């Protein structure tokens, strides 16, 4: 079989290495191999390897963080397969940090250094190079990939899926020279990452524009849980500032408001180590009340802080701060898309021939809010399962979650209503915002109206504003990215409007409570005359 894998983070690289033992594999990635979100991951991988830990405890923490919305089967797979998959990384040579502390050796039964992050009941987050775990894993996997017989196409952008007789049979791309090209495949695995650039502020790299999820949507795949975007609580709040790992708070750093008051103990019993959605909203509230919020690590030993977090020490110094002596300003930022292409535990989607893994996929394992440091583990675990299941991807259709409470909404063409609404806008019915402003408008509207806090009025306004935008005939990589972001923005706003409750990362100020009768997960699929037809833009608005 010829297997085409799109994406070069932990999921794509792992799947390519695994599948290449039995198949002809082509790996396509939009940037260079290392230009993936994995390279930016700081904290580590959560895994129940220690003598004091169990799969059941890890699973329980995952369910709590997910606001009770995670798929039980997916969580079981993640946590039970996790130890073997991390041992695979050890065998490949990932340089996980070690300790010679006798108490740790006695407690855990091995010499792996561990951190603790939000909503974890155990110190189970293994890490490398202090705060550069993702980069260490990425480079190790790239070296392993080069030892396999895999065709690698860098700087090649996915623009669409090729569907024939209801089955995915290849992909369309823009190649290194910007020329359109078609790549035939017996199976396609989308490992193309998330969509953090739906928002103005994100911890994601530039490549995270939702290309895979949008292409799957246009091909007729079911997408799920689109209202759930996780905002990481602590991005360094300076121009160009990046993620400040949750592991810093796990080691004892605290959050203080502009008056120097530690406020998170008033928000949640776990204070700074509450689930991410809780901490992010707590920070946002403190910022509304009085300006900046600061991460205060001055209570930690300075030598320990610098040794444990060398990358963050460099980043804070570059921003003009000495975090061994002063707090650093932080703010929430879009971080991880719990939604994506609906899959089962083997990565199979609702379309034969198409699989999805990593952040592009939605297995249900994260529910309404991802547990810290479960993302690298998810990419690793489900990549192996998808690579092993690729032979069976063509003949069968996914039974979504096997859960009768998983409703799928069919999105119909609303072109007539949108055309009528455009009559009321300056410029008449043919008015469009200039294409150059599509991304800026999407990011502004998503941040202001579909962000940490949402309400009916803002969501309705967002849908109207997205209806006025169009990317008519994308020809460049940037235009294809803009189309993907616009497609997903429309869907996220619609899904958020439909969920009239608050759950995990989805917080409605007009519906602040969780509705126990609401479905934990919801799916969305486009209707068209033929599965190979493109989805009209108006159908998404």
Residue 418 has pLDDT above 80, yes or no: no
Structure tokens at 254: 């605290």
Residue 413 has pLDDT above 90, yes or no: no
CB 342, CB 221: distance < 8 Å: yes
Q: How confident is the model at residue 290 (pLDDT cuts 50, 70, 90)?
A: confident
| Whole-number Å distance between alpha carbons of 293 and 259 | 9
| Whole-number Å distance between alpha carbons of 508 and 514 | 10
| Whole-number Å distance between alpha carbons of 540 and 521 | 19
| Whole-number Å distance between alpha carbons of 453 and 538 | 26
- Strand-pair category, 2-6 with 340-342: unpaired
Residue 412: the pLDDT is 58
Lowest pLDDT segment from 57-61, 81-85, 433-437: 433-437
Q: Which domains does the chain have, with CATH numbers?
A: 2-154+347-392 (3.50.50.60), 232-332 (3.90.700.10)
CB 198, CB 231: distance < 8 Å: no
In the predicted model, what is the mean pLDDT of the chain? 91
Q: Tell me the whole-structure pTM to 2 decimals.
A: 0.92
Residue 401 has pLDDT above 90, yes or no: no
Lowest pLDDT segment from 288-292, 318-322, 497-501: 288-292
Q: How confident is the model at residue 472 (pLDDT cuts 50, 70, 90)?
A: confident
The H or E element containing residue 173 is: strand 167-174
Residue 466 has pLDDT above 70, yes or no: yes
| Number of residues in the chain | 541
Tens-place pLDDT, residues 349-396: 999 999 999 999 999 999 999 999 999 999 999 999 999 999 765 544
Closest alpha carbon to 525 in 431, 397, 425, 422: 397
- Span 293-310, average pLDDT: 97
Residue 427: the pLDDT is 38
Residue 400: the pLDDT is 54
Question: Of 447 and 417, which is predicted with more confidence?
Answer: 447
| Whole-number Å distance between alpha carbons of 365 and 525 | 20
Residue tagged 């479905």 (tokens):
519
- Span 31-42, average pLDDT: 96
Question: Of 308 and 421, which is predicted with more confidence?
Answer: 308
Within 8 A by CB and 6+ apart from 101, the residues are: none
Structure tokens at 138: 């990425």
Q: What is the DSSP letter of 157?
A: E
CB 363, CB 400: distance < 8 Å: no
Biggest CA-to-CA distance, the chain? 74
- Strand-pair category, 408-411 with 523-526: parallel
Residue 51: the pLDDT is 96
Closest alpha carbon to 189 in 453, 59, 6, 315: 6
Tens-place pLDDT, residues 208-259: 999 999 999 999 999 999 999 999 999 999 999 999 999 999 999 999 999 9
Q: How confident is the model at residue 430 (pLDDT cuts 50, 70, 90)?
A: very low
Tens-place pLDDT, residues 69-116: 999 999 999 999 999 999 999 999 999 999 999 999 999 999 999 999
Give 386-438 as a 3 state SS string: HHHHHHHCCCCCCCCCCCCCCCEEEECCCHHHHHHHHCCCCCCCCCCCCHHHH
Q: What is the DSSP letter of 25?
A: E
- Span 143-163, average pLDDT: 98
Tens-place pLDDT, residues 113-149: 999 999 999 999 999 999 999 999 999 999 999 999 9
Residue 167: the pLDDT is 95
Task: Determine which one of 18, 124, 276, 348 is catalytic.
Answer: 276
- Span 416-424, average pLDDT: 40
| Whole-number Å distance between alpha carbons of 5 and 361 | 13
Closest alpha carbon to 334 in 473, 488, 196: 196
Q: How confident is the model at residue 469 (pLDDT cuts 50, 70, 90)?
A: very high
Active site residue 276: yes
Residue 434: the pLDDT is 52
Half-sphere exposure of 285 (CA within 13 A, CB side): 12
Closest alpha carbon to 351 in 494, 482, 185, 201: 185
Tens-place pLDDT, residues 253-285: 999 999 999 999 999 999 999 999 999 999 999
CA 438 to chain centre: 22
Tens-place pLDDT, residues 479-490: 999 999 999 999
- Strand-pair category, 180-184 with 229-236: unpaired
| Segments in 429-506 forming alpha helices (H) | 438-449, 456-467, 477-498
């Amino acid at each position: 079989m010829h297997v085409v894998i799109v994406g070069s983070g932990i999921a794509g690289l792992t799947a390519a290495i695994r599948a290449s033992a039995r198949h002809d594999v082509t790996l396509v990635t939009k940037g260079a191999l290392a230009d993936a979100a994995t390279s930016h991951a700081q904290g580590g991988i959560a895994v129940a390897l220690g003598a004091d830990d169990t799969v059941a405890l890890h699973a329980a923490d995952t369910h709590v963080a997910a606001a009770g919305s995670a798929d039980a089967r997916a969580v079981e797979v993640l946590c039970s397969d996790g130890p073997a998959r991390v041992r695979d990384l050890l065998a490949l040579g990932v340089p996980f940090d070690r300790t010679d502390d006798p108490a740790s050796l006695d407690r855990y039964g091995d010499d792996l250094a561990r951190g603790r992050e939000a909503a974890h009941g155990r110190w189970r987050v293994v890490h490398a190079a202090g705060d550069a775990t993702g980069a260490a894993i990425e480079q190790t996997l790239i070296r392993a990939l080069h030892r396999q017989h895999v065709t690698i196409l860098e700087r090649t952008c996915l623009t669409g899926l090729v569907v024939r007789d209801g089955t995915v049979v290849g992909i369309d791309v823009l190649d290194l020279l910007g020329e359109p090209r078609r790549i035939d495949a017996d199976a396609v695995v989308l490992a193309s990452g998330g969509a953090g650039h739906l928002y103005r502020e994100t911890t994601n790299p530039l490549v995270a524009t939702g290309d895979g999820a949008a292409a799957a949507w246009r091909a007729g795949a079911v997408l799920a849980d689109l209202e759930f975007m996780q905002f990481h609580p602590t991005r360094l709040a300076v121009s160009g500032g990046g993620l400040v790992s949750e592991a810093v708070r796990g080691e004892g750093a605290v959050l203080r408001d502009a008056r120097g008051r530690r406020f998170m103990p008033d928000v949640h019993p776990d204070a700074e180590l509450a689930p991410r959605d809780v901490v992010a909203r707590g920070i946002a509230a403190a910022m509304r009340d009085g300006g900046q919020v600061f991460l205060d690590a001055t209570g930690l030993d300075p030598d320990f802080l610098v040794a444990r977090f060398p990358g963050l020490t460099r980043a804070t110094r570059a921003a003009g701060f000495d975090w061994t002596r002063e707090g650093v300003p932080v703010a929430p930022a879009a971080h991880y898309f719990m939604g994506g292409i609906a899959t089962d535990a083997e990565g199979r989607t609702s379309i034969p021939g198409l699989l999805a893994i990593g952040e592009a996929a939605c297995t249900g394992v994260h529910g309404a809010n991802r547990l810290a440091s479960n993302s690298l583990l998810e990419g690793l675990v489900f990549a192996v399962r998808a690579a092993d299941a690729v032979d069976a991807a063509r003949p069968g259709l996914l039974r979504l979650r096997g859960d009768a409470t998983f409703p799928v909404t069919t999105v119909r063409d609303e072109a007539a209503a949108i055309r009528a609404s455009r009559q009321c806008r300056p410029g008449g019915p043919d008015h469009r915002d200039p294409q150059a402003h599509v991304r800026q408008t999407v990011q502004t509207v998503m941040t202001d109206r579909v962000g940490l806090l949402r309400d009916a009025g803002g969501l309705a306004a967002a849908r109207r504003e997205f209806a006025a935008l169009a990317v008519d005939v994308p020809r460049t990589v940037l235009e294809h990215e803009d189309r993907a972001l616009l497609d997903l923005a429309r869907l996220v706003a619609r899904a958020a409007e439909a969920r009239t409750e608050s759950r995990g990362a989805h917080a409605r100020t007009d519906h602040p409570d969780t509705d126990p009768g609401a479905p934990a997960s919801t799916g969305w699929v486009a209707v068209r005359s033929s599965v190979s037809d493109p989805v009209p833009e108006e159908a998404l608005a």
